[in-house]
Every structure is written in C-alpha cells, then in structure tokens.
C-alpha cells in the first residue's frame, strides 16, 4: 500500500518546533514506508495546488496530512483529495500544530511526539476504507409552534420564500404576549398597531395560502426525523368557523353564561362564547365548553340563533380532532411566561389588593384591557403613588439566578405611561441592578430619572423589601426601615419558560437547560438551533428576550430551514456515522437510550437495532456502548482506533 | 467404554470411525481446573457411546488410567484432537500443554479456563507470594506454626517429592502453545460439545483460531426475556428480591453479563431466574469482555437529572451508583482476566 505523508510547516508555526527532516527519516521505518512531502502552507492556494498535483503524480492509496487541527482544514484537504480523484475519506489529519508544536517547549520532544502521532495515523489510515455520502429526499415545509412575534416572523419569512408552513398556536389568537400590551419599549410604539401589519399579512396577506394557521391547537406527537417529520396536532374545538365568522359579536350578547377572562389576567368577565379580548386576531370569538350552560345539561343555542351569518358559523357539536402533517423542520417559538411573584415572600402578591404583577399591569394599561386603559385601584380610586419593584425572582439564587433582561426596560416604560396617564403621581422604582441594553432604551431611563416625581431606590436583596397594608388600605413598601406609603405596587417578576415547555421538550426530545428554557446547540454560534437536527429555536423559549431579538430569531430559524431543506434538492448524509451489523445484533436494546440524537430505533420483528444515518452525528456513543460489538463507527472503527493507539505507542 | 459397541443407527454419522481401521484418538486433559469440564463431557450421557464409537477416547486423567508416559510414547501428532481444559497455573500445566501440543493434530482450548484464564486467573490480581502467604500462613483457619510453604524438593525417608513450581501469573493455553480452536463455557454446554465432535469428525471446521461450539451473537439472543430500553438507577443483588421472570434481568438491576457474553449456551441461567455471569466470554469481535461491560453499563446507568448540579455533586452521584457494584474485577473479568487487555494487576 502506498501512503503519502504531507507535512505542513505552517510557516514557522510548526517548523519552529518540529523537524520535518527527522519526521521524514522516521517515516521510512513506518509500515509501508510512506513517502513524505513537505509543504510550507498546505492550506494556501499555492499549497493546495502543490498538494493536489503531488496526489495526482504519486497516486497514493492513503494520505496522512500532518498540519493543524482537523477542525480548521479537514474539509479543505478532503476537497483536495476529491479534486485529485481520490475518495476524501482515505485521509487522516494529524494535528501537530495545536496539540504538539504550540504546547511543547522543547523542539526535540515536540519532534518525538509528532513522529509518534504521525506513525499512529499511518497505522490507522491503512485500515480506512472509502466512504460515500448518501442522498436523501426531503420535505421543505415547516411546522412553527407558537404564533407570537418570533413564530409569526418565521412563518411569514418562510411563506415569502414559497414554503408551506403549519403554524400551531395554543391560544385562540395570534400575536403572543405583546399583542396584549399597550405600548412597547424602547420607543413607546403602540403594540397592537406595530404587530397589526404582521398579523394581517399572516392572515390575509400575499401568501396566506402558504400558511396553515391552527389556533387552539397543540402538538401531540412527532415521529420521523430531519427532512421527514410527521407531526400530529390536536385541534381543540373553537365552535366558531374562522372562515365564516365576521366578528360582529352578536353571539356574545346572546350568551347567558359568564366566567372570568384569563386573557385579561382574570380582571374582567367574559361570556362562554366571547372574544379573547377586544381587537383580537383572528377576529372571531371562541366558546369555552366548560363554561357553556350546555355543559350542565341545559339545552341552549342562543349563540347559534343570534348569528347573522347563518347556521354553519357556530358549531355546538364540534369535537376535538387530530390532524397529521408532514414537514421537514420544526421551529419552536413557544415564548415565555412570568414567574409567580407570590413565590417571593413578603411582597403581597396574591394577598394584598393593588399589588399587581407586570402582566396584570400591562392589561390595566391596555385600552383593550379590563379597565380600558385606566389606572385604578381595586376600590376604583385613581392612585397618587405607585411603587415598581424590579428583579422579583430574577438575579436571585433563591429563585432564578439569571437576569431577565427586559424588566428594567418595561419598568421604565410603565414609568412613562403612568406619568402620562396620572400626571403628578409619584413613582418609586425599587431596583437591584439597572439593565437597559441597546441604543434606544437609555432614553426611557433618562426620562424616568429626570422625572421630578420619580425616585430610584436601590436595594441589596429582595428580602430587604416588604409590602404591607395598613387599616386605611394604604400600602407600605418597607425597605430596611424606610417606609414609603403607596396606592399601588407593580412587581416585575422573572421571565421563565412558557407553561408546557417541559412537555414539549419531552415530546420532541429537545433538551432544556437547568432553567427550563430550550437548550441551544451552541449559545453563541448556533443559538437558533436546538440540540436536535432540524428543530430550531426562536424567541423567548430559549431565554428572556425582547421583541426585536425574537423577530430576528424568527428570521434566523427561517434561514436555517431555507438553507437546509430546498425543494427538489436532497440532503447529503455524512458517511462518518454508526451502522448496526444486522448479523451481530442480539437485540438487547441497550443502544436505544444512549443516543443523544435519538437516531437509533428498534425493529421488533427482526429483533435488531437500526441507526438512522440522517440523525446520526457520528459521535460513537453507541459504538462504545454496544456490548455485542455489533455497531461500527464508519471512519472510527475499533480496529482503526486500536491500530492508531498501537502505532503511537510503538 | 473404550471397547464398547457403537449403538446401532448412529453409525452413518461416523463413517470415518467405522470404516477406518484405527479410530482417531481423542484426549481430554485438565490444567488448573475444577473438573467441571470433564463432568460436561460425561454429561454427553449416552452420546458418549457414540463418541467412543467414532473415536478412540484414550487419555483423560479424570476418567481413564492412561499415564503421561503413555502419551510421551506416542509419535508426534498421533492424537487427532486434544480438548485441553484448565488454565496454566503450574510448571506441570505448561509441560503437559507443550507435550499435548506436540502429540496432537488439533489442540482445542476447552472451556473458559483454557480460553481466558477463568477463576484461576483471578489470582493475577495478587502476587504469587501474597497468594502463598494467604493460603499457607495468614488464613485464619490455617495452623502452620513452622510457617512452611510447600515448594521445590522435599526429602523423606522413602524418597524425594518434587512439587511443580507455581508460575508468576496464571496463563491461558494460547499464551504458552499454539491453539487451533477455542470452545467457551464454564463448563461448555454438553450439546455444544457434541456439536464440536460432529464438526471435527465431518471435517467441517471454520478457519483455525476460531471459537467454536457457540453462537455468533450474545446471550441476549438466547434469552427470551422481554427487553426494553435500558435505564438503570441502581444495581441490586440476587438475595435482595425475587426478579420478575419475564423482564430483562439487567433492566431489573441485576448485573447480568448476558449483553457482553457470547451466546450458544441457551441461556440456562436467565431461564433459572439468575443473571448471566459471562462464562461464554467475549462475543465475536470484542477484545475485552470486562471493558465492554463497563462501557455498556456506563452508557445506561441513570444517575438522575443532573441539571444544576455541581461537578462534585454529579461525581458523588456516580460514586453512589458505583457503590452498588460489589466487585468489579471478580464480576466483569471472572472468566477472561488472563486474556483481557488488563491481564491482571499491573506489577511495577
């Protein structure tokens, strides 16, 4: 077997420490006595040409490149082999730069190490076999879960590119959390107005046929893998046809049953059939079966009779259905929720009237909310003083150790809105740290700090604060002995993963971090990808995030989908993957739980395991685990690894 | 038995035995062993008569009266097949291994001692001196005031007695002589011995160096218990509970070696509700049964959700888990220590 060793000097990076002459001399004693060619910069254009020309002239059976980390240039050298007409997997890269030259002081020792490592590679490369990439046909369509800012942006971007999208939303409406806010930081834009064009596009824009919106729906099962997922989605009955309802509200008037409206933080009532809130999109009510008098056995069809659009709009007998869709990728945009502020003791949440969390206060500020945007106390009075407490459960080892990132900015937005609605009202901010990143939010901080009726007070620990109420009904914020009477307290709780994130994580096998947010493939370089191939993360489901970032992440996930799966194009499957020898598998099923990518399935009929090469990342965990030795890691067989170890230790 | 008449009706199988004037010679010898392999041969029951009909069963110190000098007197390669059981513990074991190698056309490492060292080789976890001290001096039940450790030559009025020396380390057969085939098992199952006899007589043998009289998969293939995904939260021992009779024993927390053990035994242990101890040794293509077992168990041991735990806490969980394994070496290398990568305790 003819083996070529290509030794890169990397300028002086390698040459300074490792003697190429000594390596060449030693190589004559390696198995098959490989020839050694020395190149100055093998990754340079000139170097690559020299490498390719040499490969064409020498026509070696196997190649060893002793150069930098394979992370840097393995792909480069593989292309060179391909260009020279060789199978690119007949090469082994030895990292003599980072692992030897840069970390070894003495040149003699470095040369010895390099000789041992290259000898190992020569012994190993002799056993390497040509490998071929496989092609697989894929479905280019996507499933987006969550119709908040991130999910809507992802769905629209994909639709613009001509992709079909299934957009699944748990609530009866789109727009996520911010559609329920009045104004948004940092520029005090009207939230529904800002989101309206996006929501309009989604519902009635140029590509509505491309987006299949399912409200009141939840993912219940996913099988398959990247490029070929099959999703089952349960659609709960809305009892109102989205296509035919014109949103006139006649049915709401007629409905006899009432309950509290959770979308107004239960601060106002609603009918059994009603809109989630005023101005909601899609502009149609939904019927709460458990509230409807029919649930108590009463025969009622008041809503159906009241509908001016005919018999078919309200369907009282509609049942939950499960639909199945084939998609190639999944975008998780399930958003965030707020930490239960009553878990932070002493602040009066849920105990004292006029202590609100941020979501309740957002709804109070909203013109579509329970008070129509008026700031009033539970007793109906206009407050003359408001305390806003930051960092409730954030930056707190007893609750959530992270900074929620958005709270200071919306707290100063509250300041702005309270000042505008209640001129002269005094506002006290209790904060631990002040975090107002970005180029715009400082204006809000400056506005609050420059406001003569605003006081900023820093506290050290949330336990230093206590909210109490005296007999007259006045609230008191006590901070280390200093007592401030106020009429209303607003708490800014930590941003936490949306309810149900854990269920979705279990269902999809997408891992979560210790805080319960979806874990990114890499926090910096691959933040929009989950740990599973073809499942992407957009928005606050992966960490507390503002709308700007969520929208950008929506775009990013659309980008991943568009780049990865293209109509008519197949995906390439990397051949460095695990494969089960069907004749060697005894069916013990030990490998099934070890695969971090869920690439292994079990064929009960044949009693053997199977590795899905699309999902396999070639990590080798199952190869090690298989007690029968029936799983081969192509490119990393046991024989190759043993040969390399023996070569190094000779 | 040596002169016993073959049973009628089975002759067809052994045409060679019947038509040739001299039957091929069969020897069964023991090195450092317990005698279980001989019992496995005797467990052929009436099939032993067929063996005898086909072959000249001429040497087996446990069963027959042939002497070493009789073997020495044979021409080289006179014995068709020697089934050599037992590990090599003493100089005498090695001497007999060499003698039988010379006199045999096929030398078969028979049983797990000859194949991988088995129980005798667990002595490789200690030194020869420590071993002798334990046996003759330090053992609480030993009364040896003169502190005599028997060895070498001892003179008596009647003459001299020569004790064979102990080797520094227990070896398996192939570490001393060339071995043609290996038959695993502690002891080999009798039906597999019969299969080998048939294969030898028919000449239908795989390439030299193969392991025969066994399957090509693992014991899991022989075991008909229901297997599921494996996540093991702690190991338990047999005395602690009555295992479910249908579920995989490993999944129930018993340290069943079946996953990393060659099949062919028919899984009698798991059928008896006992975990496999691994006596059929490494599966095809595996180098080291113990290391494989460690790798496999390491992959499925479940130390619970570690999110948010410190490195020290995670290490503590792993330690607690491992504390449920009573004896790594004796468990994972019970049958294969001499042939493992480790080989035994590293002596410096």
Question: Chain B residue with minimal CA distance to A622?
Answer: B299
* Separation of alpha carbons A116 and A463, rounded Å: 61
Contact A589 B227 (CB under 8 A): yes
User: A401, A531, A589, A595: which to substitute to probe chain B, counting the most B Cβ within 10 Å?
Assistant: A589
Cβ of A588 under 8 Å from any chain B Cβ? Answer: yes
Nearest to A126 by CA among A65, A62, A70: A62
Contact B300 A590 (CB under 8 A): yes
Residue B4, pLDDT above cutoff 50: no
Contact B292 A588 (CB under 8 A): no
**C-alpha distance from A478 to closest chain B C-alpha (Å):** 33
Domains held by chain B: number: 2
Residue B341 domain-assigned? no
User: A497, A506, A512, A590: which to substitute to probe chain B, counting the most B Cβ within 10 Å?
Assistant: A590
Classify residue B64 by its DSSP letter.
Answer: -
* Same domain for B145 and B252: no
* Same domain for B309 and B228: yes
Residue B347 domain-assigned? no
For chains A and B, count residue pairs whose Cβ atoms are closer than 8 Å: 82
Residue B12, pLDDT above cutoff 80: no
Contact A629 B285 (CB under 8 A): yes
Residue B43 domain-assigned? yes
Q: In chain A, which residues have their Cβ closer than 8 Å to the Cβ of B230?
A: 588-590, 592-593
- The alpha carbon of B17 is separated from its chain's Cα centroid by a whole number of angstroms, namely 30
**C-alpha distance from B93 to closest chain A C-alpha (Å):** 32
- The alpha carbon of B225 is separated from its chain's Cα centroid by a whole number of angstroms, namely 25
Average pLDDT over residues A465-487: 94
Across the interface, of A513, A584, A590, the residue whose CB is closest to B259 is A590
* Same domain for B267 and B316: yes
Question: Which residue among B214, B240, B267 closes a domain?
Answer: B214
**C-alpha distance from A119 to closest chain B C-alpha (Å):** 22
Average pLDDT over residues A294-311: 94
| Average pLDDT along chain A | 94
Residue A362, pLDDT above cutoff 80: yes
* Separation of alpha carbons A430 and A465, rounded Å: 9
* Separation of alpha carbons B9 and A641, rounded Å: 54
Cβ of A628 under 8 Å from any chain B Cβ? Answer: yes
Across the interface, of A512, A588, A627, the residue whose CB is closest to B293 is A627
Question: HEC profile for B139-166?
Answer: CCCCCCCCCCCCCCEEEECCEEEECCCE
Question: Which residue among B155, B185, B214 closes a domain?
Answer: B214
Cβ of A583 under 8 Å from any chain B Cβ? Answer: yes
Question: Which residue among B183, B214, B245 closes a domain?
Answer: B214
pLDDT for the residue numbered A356: 97
- Which ranges of A1-106 does DSSP label H, i.e. alpha helix? 12-15, 20-27, 45-58, 70-83
- Measuring CA to CA, how many Å separate B161 from each of B120, B131, B152? 24, 22, 8
Q: Are A308 and A469 in contact (CB under 8 A)?
A: no
pLDDT for the residue numbered A51: 97
Residue B335, pLDDT above cutoff 70: yes
* Separation of alpha carbons A261 and A256, rounded Å: 15
Residue B344 domain-assigned? no
Residue B11, pLDDT above cutoff 60: no
| Average pLDDT along chain B | 91
On the question of a cis peptide bond just before residue A482, with omega within 30 degrees of 0, the verdict is no
Q: Which of A56-60, A620-624, B3-7, B282-286 has the highest mean pLDDT?
A: A56-60
Residue B18, pLDDT above cutoff 50: no
Residue B5 domain-assigned? yes
pLDDT for the residue numbered A596: 80
A 607-626 → B contacts, CB under 8 A: 607, 621, 624-626
- The alpha carbon of A15 is separated from its chain's Cα centroid by a whole number of angstroms, namely 44
* Same domain for B25 and B66: yes
A220 three-state secondary structure = strand
Q: In chain A, which residues have their Cβ closer than 8 Å to the Cβ of B218?
A: 586, 588, 627-628
Cβ of A629 under 8 Å from any chain B Cβ? Answer: yes
Contact B300 A594 (CB under 8 A): yes
Band the pLDDT of A498: cuts 50, 70, 90: very high
Average pLDDT over residues B81-90: 97
Q: In chain A, which residues have their Cβ closer than 8 Å to the Cβ of B296?
A: 590, 625-627
Beta-strand relationship, A336-338 and A495-497: antiparallel
Q: In chain A, which residues have their Cβ closer than 8 Å to the Cβ of B221?
A: 586-587, 607
Question: Chain A residue with minimal CA distance to B227?
Answer: A588
pLDDT for the residue numbered A219: 97
Residue B17, pLDDT above cutoff 80: no
**C-alpha distance from A250 to closest chain B C-alpha (Å):** 52
* Same domain for B246 and B145: no
* Separation of alpha carbons B206 and B204, rounded Å: 7
Residue B345 domain-assigned? no
pLDDT tens, A169-212? 999 999 999 999 999 999 999 999 999 999 999 998 887 689 99
Average pLDDT over residues A546-570: 94
* Same domain for B69 and B165: yes
Contact A590 B217 (CB under 8 A): no
Which domain does B275 fall in, by range? Answer: 219-332
Cα separation of the two ends of chain B: 52
pLDDT tens, B249-264? 999 999 999 999 999 9
> Following DSSP, what letter does each residue of A137-198 receive, concatenated?
-----EEEE--SHHHHHHHHHHHHTT--EEEE-SSSSSSTTGGG-SEETTTTEEHHHHHHHH
pLDDT for the residue numbered B282: 95
Q: Which residues of B touch A (CB under 8 A)?
A: 216-221, 227-231, 248, 250, 258-260, 263, 283-287, 292-293, 295-296, 298-300, 307-308
Q: Let me know if A469 is exposed, middle or buried by CB neighbors in 10 A (0-12, 13-18, 19+).
A: middle
Contact B307 A586 (CB under 8 A): no
* Separation of alpha carbons B280 and B257, rounded Å: 10
Q: Are A338 and A358 in contact (CB under 8 A)?
A: yes
Residue B25 domain-assigned? yes
Nearest to A260 by CA among A268, A249, A252: A268
Q: In chain B, which residues have their Cβ closer than 8 Å to the Cβ of A627?
A: 218, 259-260, 283, 286, 292-293, 295-296
Q: Are A12 and A48 in contact (CB under 8 A)?
A: no
* Same domain for B174 and B226: no
Which pTM was predicted?
Answer: 0.72
- Tokens of residue B176, six digits: 């001393």
- Tokens of residue A183, six digits: 């104004």
pLDDT for the residue numbered B348: 67
Contact B285 A584 (CB under 8 A): yes
Residue B340 domain-assigned? no
Question: Chain A residue with minimal CA distance to B230?
Answer: A590
pLDDT for the residue numbered A388: 98
Contact B217 A586 (CB under 8 A): yes
* Same domain for B316 and B183: no
Band the pLDDT of B21: cuts 50, 70, 90: low
* Same domain for B297 and B169: no
* Same domain for B256 and B159: no
Q: Indicate left, alpha or beta for B29 from its phi (over 0: left) and psi (-120 to 50: alpha).
A: beta
Residue B153, pLDDT above cutoff 90: yes
- Tokens of residue B258, six digits: 């079946």
pLDDT for the residue numbered B319: 93
Classify residue A295 by its DSSP letter.
Answer: G
**C-alpha distance from B183 to closest chain A C-alpha (Å):** 18
As for the ipTM of the complex, it is 0.84
CATH number of the domain residue B60 falls in: 3.40.50.700
Q: In chain A, which residues have their Cβ closer than 8 Å to the Cβ of B258?
A: 588
* Same domain for B236 and B196: no
Question: HEC profile for A334-391?
Answer: CCEEECCHHHCCCCCCCCCCCEEEHHHHHHHHCCCCCCCCCCCCCCCCCCCEEEEEEE
* Same domain for B224 and B199: no
Supply angle C-alpha A544, A545, A548, rounded to 5.
Answer: 175
- Tokens of residue A231, six digits: 């999703």
pLDDT tens, A41-92? 999 999 999 999 999 999 999 999 999 999 999 999 999 999 999 999 999 9
Average pLDDT over residues A590-596: 89
- Which ranges of A224-357 does DSSP label H, i.e. alpha helix? 250-254, 302-306
Classify residue B187 by its DSSP letter.
Answer: S
């Amino acid at each position: 077997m003819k083996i070529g060793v290509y030794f890169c000097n990397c300028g002086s990076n390698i040459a300074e420490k490792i003697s190429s002459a000594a390596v060449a001399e030693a190589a004559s004693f390696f198995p098959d006595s490989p020839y050694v060619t020395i190149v100055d910069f093998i990754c340079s254009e000139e170097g690559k040409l020299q490498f390719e020309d040499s490969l064409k002239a020498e026509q070696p059976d196997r190649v060893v490149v002793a150069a930098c980390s394979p992370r840097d240039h393995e792909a480069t050298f593989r292309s060179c082999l391909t260009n020279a007409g060789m199978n690119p997997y007949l090469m082994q890269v030895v990292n003599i730069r980072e692992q030897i030259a840069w970390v070894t002081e003495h040149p003699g020792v470095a040369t010895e190490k390099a000789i041992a490592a290259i000898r190992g590679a020569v012994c190993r490369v002799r056993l390497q076999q040509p490998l071929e990439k496989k092609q697989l046909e894929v479905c280019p369509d996507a499933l987006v879960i969550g119709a908040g800012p991130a999910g809507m942006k992802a769905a629209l971007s994909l639709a613009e590119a001509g992709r079909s999208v299934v957009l699944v939303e748990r609530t009866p409406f789109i727009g996520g959390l911010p559609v329920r806010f009045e104004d948004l930081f940092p520029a005090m834009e009207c939230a529904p107005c800002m989101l309206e064009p996006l929501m309009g596009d989604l519902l009635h824009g140029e590509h509505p046929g491309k987006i299949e919106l399912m409200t009141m729906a939840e993912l219940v099962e996913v099988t398959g893998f990247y490029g070929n997922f099959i999703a089952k989605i349960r659609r709960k009955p809305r009892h109102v046809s989205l296509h035919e309802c014109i949103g006139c509200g006649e049915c709401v008037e007629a409905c006899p049953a009432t309950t509290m409206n959770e979308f107004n933080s239960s601060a106002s009532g609603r009918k059994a059939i009603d809109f989630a809130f005023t101005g909601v999109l899609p502009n149609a009510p939904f019927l709460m079966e458990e509230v409807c008098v029919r649930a108590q056995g009463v025969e009622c069809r008041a809503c159906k009779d009241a509908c001016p659009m005919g018999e078919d709009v309200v369907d009282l007998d509609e049942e939950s259905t499960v639909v199945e869709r084939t998609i190639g990728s999944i975008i998780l945009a399930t958003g965030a929720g707020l930490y239960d502020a009553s878990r932070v003791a002493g602040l009066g949440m849920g105990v004292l009237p006029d202590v609100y969390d941020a979501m309740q206060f957002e709804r109070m500020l909203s013109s579509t909310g329970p008070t129509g945007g008026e700031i009033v106390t539970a007793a109906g009075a206009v407050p003359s003083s408001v305390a806003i407490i930051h960092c409730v459960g954030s930056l707190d080892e007893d609750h959530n150790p992270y900074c929620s990132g958005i709270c200071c900015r919306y707290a100063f937005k509250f300041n702005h809105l309270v000042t505008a609605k209640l001129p002269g009202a005094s506002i006290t901010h209790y904060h631990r740290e002040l975090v107002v990143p970005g180029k715009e939010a400082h204006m809000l901080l400056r506005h609050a700090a420059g406001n003569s009726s605003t006081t900023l007070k820093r506290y050290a620990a949330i336990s230093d604060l206590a909210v109490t109420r005296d007999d007259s009904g006045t609230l008191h914020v006590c901070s280390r002995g200093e007592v401030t009477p106020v009429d209303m307290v607003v708490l800014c709780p930590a941003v936490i993963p949306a309810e149900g994130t854990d269920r979705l994580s279990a269902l999809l096998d997408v891992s979560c971090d210790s805080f319960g947010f979806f874990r990114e493939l890499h926090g910096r370089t691959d933040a929009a990808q989950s740990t599973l191939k073809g499942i992407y993360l957009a928005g606050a489901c992966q960490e507390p995030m503002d709308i700007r970032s969520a929208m950008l992440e929506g775009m990013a996930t659309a980008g991943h989908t568009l780049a990865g799966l293209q109509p008519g194009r197949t995906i390439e499957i990397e051949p460095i993957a695990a494969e089960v020898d069907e004749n060697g598998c005894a069916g013990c099923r030990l490998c099934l739980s070890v695969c971090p990518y869920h690439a292994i399935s079990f064929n009960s009929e044949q009693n053997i395991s199977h590795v899905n090469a699309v999902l396999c990342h070639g990590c080798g965990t199952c190869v090690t685990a298989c007690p029968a030795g029936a799983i081969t890691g192509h490119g990393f067989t046991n024989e190759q690894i043993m040969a390399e170890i023996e070569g190094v230790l000779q | 038995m040596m002169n016993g008449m073959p049973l009628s009706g089975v002759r067809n199988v052994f045409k060679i035995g019947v038509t040739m004037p001299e039957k091929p010679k069969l020897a069964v010898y023991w090195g450092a062993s317990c005698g279980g392999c001989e019992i496995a041969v005797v467990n052929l029951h009436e099939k032993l008569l067929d063996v005898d009909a086909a072959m000249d069963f001429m040497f087996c110190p446990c069963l027959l009266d042939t002497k070493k000098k009789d073997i020495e007197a044979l021409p080289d390669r006179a014995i068709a097949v020697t089934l050599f059981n037992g590990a090599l513990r003493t100089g005498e074991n090695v001497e007999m291994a060499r003698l039988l190698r010379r006199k045999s056309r096929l030398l078969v490492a028979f049983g797990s001692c000859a194949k991988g060292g088995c129980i005798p080789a667990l002595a490789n976890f200690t030194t020869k001196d420590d071993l002798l001290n334990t046996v003759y001096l330090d053992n609480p039940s030993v009364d040896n005031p003169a502190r005599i450790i028997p060895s070498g030559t001892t003179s008596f009025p009647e003459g001299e007695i020569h004790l064979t020396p102990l080797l520094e380390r227990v070896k398996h057969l192939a570490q001393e002589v060339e071995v043609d085939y290996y038959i695993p098992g502690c002891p080999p199952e009798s039906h597999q011995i019969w299969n080998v006899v048939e294969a030898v007589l028919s000449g239908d043998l795989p390439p030299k160096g193969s392991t025969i009289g066994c399957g090509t998969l693992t014991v899991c293939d022989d075991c008909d218990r229901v297997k599921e995904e494996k996540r093991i939260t702690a190991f338990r021992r047999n005395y602690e509970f009555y295992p479910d009779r249908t579920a995989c024993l490993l999944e129930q927390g018993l340290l069943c070696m079946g996953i990393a053990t060659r099949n062919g035994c028919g899984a009698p242990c798991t059928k008896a509700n006992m975990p496999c101890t691994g006596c059929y040794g490494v599966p095809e293509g595996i180098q080291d049964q113990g290391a494989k077992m460690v790798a496999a168990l390491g992959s499925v041991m479940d130390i619970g959700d570690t999110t948010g735990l410190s490195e020290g806490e995670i290490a503590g969980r792993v330690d607690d888990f491992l504390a449920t394994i009573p004896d790594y070496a004796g468990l994972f290398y019970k049958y294969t220590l001499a042939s493992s990568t480790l080989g035994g305790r590293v002596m410096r």
